[in-house]
Structure 1
Amino acid sequence: MCITAESLGSVELEDFMRQKLPDLLRERGEFRYEIMGILADVFASKDDLKQVLEEIRKLREDSNRRFGEMDQRFEEVNRTMNQRFEEVNRMMNQRFEEVNRRFEEMDTRFEVMYRSQREVRLEVSALGGRIGYGLEEIIRQTVEEFSGQSFKKFEHLRLRDSEGELYGIPADVEYDLYLEDSVNYVVEVKSHIKPGDVLIFHRKSLFAEKQLLKRIKPIMISASITKDAKKKCKELGIDLISRSVVD
């Protein structure tokens, strides 16, 4: 019976080749070399595999080297940018500090000018014997700066002395300014203060306490004051704001 490859199924053909192929390879050298050539074309040899692996290793090393160089470049770029940003930031800080310093100097100058203007207006007011609303505001600011308080209520104050307690006859008693807060003030503004002025104002402040039923702190503001008047203010507990002391 003649058996051909066409007459066998795939499974039967595989079984047949397993049985016959080893004998054929041993017995027929030409056939064996032919099969080896076919297998060599299909499967890589050990040397080929080594070569492929070596090429892969070199490719990986080259990639790592290039990535390392790129990392170094990025680090250099990052370092350069950081240095530039730091330099720009330093320059900006210097400029801002300079601008702030100039603004502070301007604020100081304006504050000095404002205080000088306020003092001049107070002196002019005292010389003329007139206290208006605008000057009441200046007096309030002066007392606030002196006392460290803030006064929401302040007004020109007039109290009636019906019994003539101060002047011997009934009269209106006027105060240049009355300021009300945790500590209440009555203010007297004069161009020049003498001891007699201090004594009169002391009596006026006591009268205000009696009439208002409140603790009153007297304060006098002037362009100048005598040494004796200043001493008398201290003795009587009268606060004083004065530009100069004269004999």
Structure 2
Amino acid sequence: MSLEEEIKKVLLNNPSILIDVLTARPEIIYQVLAKLTPWQNLATKQDIEKLSREIEDIKQNMATKQELEEIKKTIVTKQELEEIKKTIVTKEDLKNMATKQELEEIKQNMATKQELEEIKKTMATKDDIKRLETIITGLGARWGIMNEDSFRQGIREILSSTGWKVSREILYDKEGYVYEEPSDIEYDIIVKDGNVILIEITSSLKRGDLPIIKRKKELYEKVKNVKITLVYVITPFVHDRYPERVKAMAKDMGIEVIYP
């Protein structure tokens, strides 16, 4: 048996000898590792200290379990995001919203409570209109012997008897705004409690008359620089197959039609 084999046998049978040797000569371990692994890949003492510091920094910067719970409380859930989206105003919504200036204009055009009360004072009561309708029906029954001027004069007298004074005015429409050619425009006007009411008295009313009446009102307001509160058309006959439809059309234009 060779010397190497005898030494190997002794070490295998007594491994504690190796422990004693490595303890006494630890540099042997580094020498072996240096042969197995390039020395530049081994961690030095400085590397280990640096790594230890970095681990400490990470530990200090890591959120604790309590901090994570607090963060979870502040995180918005998917359901909460959906609720928020519902309350967000989109660009399209902003386009459809009235501007501050538009709201102010709307407020200026709205009648105040006091103005509504004034309008109520100028409006004919249900009894007044009923009385007018009854009288117009009687006049209409005698229409064959009456001309339009007589009818107009009769209505003026009736209105005067109810306390409404009717004044006759004539404006010259040089631009032809009402009849599309220069002409004199006749008006029957009532002024009551500071409110101006236009009375249109005619022997018969057709659909085509409504735009003309509306333009008459607009011309008067422009020339006189006043606001006409109400427009009444008094007639014994609505010349149309559907009189109620004509009356509804007139109402849409701000015109009240009174007929039997």
| TM-score over 0.5 for the pair | no
TM range (shorter): 0.3 to 0.5
Bigger proportion of residues as helix:
1
Higher Cα Rg, which structure = 1
Which structure is higher in RCO with an 8 Å CA cutoff and minimum separation 6?
A: 2
TM-score w.r.t. length of structure 2: 0.40
